[in-house]
Amino acid sequence: MTTNAQPRILQIGRLPLPALETELAARYSVACLADQADPQGFLAAHGAEFSGVVTTASIGLTGEVIAALPHLQVISSFGVGFDALDIGAATARGVQVGYTPGVLNDCVADMAFALMLDVSRGIAASDRFVRQGQWPKARFALGTRVSGKRLGIVGMGRIGQAVAERAAGFRMEVGYHNRRPAEGCAHSYFESLTALAQWADYLVLTVAGGAGTRHLVNRDVLDALGPQGYLINVARGSVVDEAALIDALAERRIAGAGLDVFDNEPQVPAALMALDNVVLTPHTASATHETRRAMADLVLENLHAFYTSGAVRVPVPGTVAG
């Protein structure tokens, strides 16, 4: 924990909530790495000044930048994912890493159901149908009922549990796949992801990203989901083999998909955008005024807790404790 009256904070890039940048600057001495004409030169000249870093789940923090900050003590990340953070480099240095889980569960679960309803009932497509003046000329295509179907959740953590809670209102039967059964969870546990996909009408991804889950959903899983099944991804783009998904959608080996995340954001493959059985949103599952404000508050609280008590309020699992 630093004793500096106004700790020096390195902000890696622009933050999703401009008010957070203002509040950070009011509390700390902040410099934004993305604003520097020569970031590497800036780090070489000033890296030793910073004891804290603020970043986002999408921007992350590389081991190279961590190495350029010899007095780094704390990282506060805006987001629930930490696959873009070099956690190994941080923990090797004894750096504490805070993040913002919990506060976005409801909005991400809401988005999972919004995507599920849209791809099943053609909400966005029917909006375009009306706006383009097609209604007087033709009937819109029939959709698929969501209520009463089987919902498979991949990753029964906080967000997965919030999805399962919403499923009850749709009278859906819920099953899930984790590395191990979730303690206290009454829903059916599937040891095999392929078996869950084969059972489910909807496969919703809420699992963490990172090397351990990369391309977890592959051709075999998609084939198990089958021509009546739908894939919903509000997790990370890396969890799905995107090329295999495009083939499955194009060949109608699955019925459709609702995607909020992609493998190479913000670039979305043209082949994916050309398909009419997929709904695409620009990684906005947590993008509500309420949730972004709560996430910003937790970024600030993690920093404040560290600089006053020596421990972030909410550490990334498995990282250094205060």
How far apart CA 48 and CA 69 sit, in angstroms, is: 5
Please provide residue 217's backbone torsions phi and psi, each rounded to the nearest 5 degrees: -95, 105
Residue recorded with tokens 């750096």 = 95
Cα pseudo-dihedral 30, 79, 272, 240, rounded to 10: 130
Question: Which residue(s) pair with 22 in the sheet?
Answer: none
219 is catalytic: no
Please provide residue 228's backbone torsions phi and psi, each rounded to the nearest 5 degrees: -105, 0
121 is catalytic: no
Name the pairing type of β-strands 173-177 and 150-154. Answer: parallel
Cα 167–chain centre separation: 20
Given 177, 187, 236, 292, the catalytic residue: 236
DSSP state of 240: B
Angle of helix 289-309 relative to helix 18-27, nearest 10 degrees?
Answer: 20
Given 64, 165, 191, 265, the catalytic residue: 265
Given 177, 187, 242, 283, the catalytic residue: 283
Name the pairing type of β-strands 96-98 and 52-56. Answer: unpaired
Question: Which residue(s) pair with 279 in the sheet?
Answer: 258
Question: Three-state SS for 16?
Answer: coil
**Pair of tokens at residue 268:** 């979305």
265 is catalytic: yes
Catalytic machinery residues: 236, 265, 283
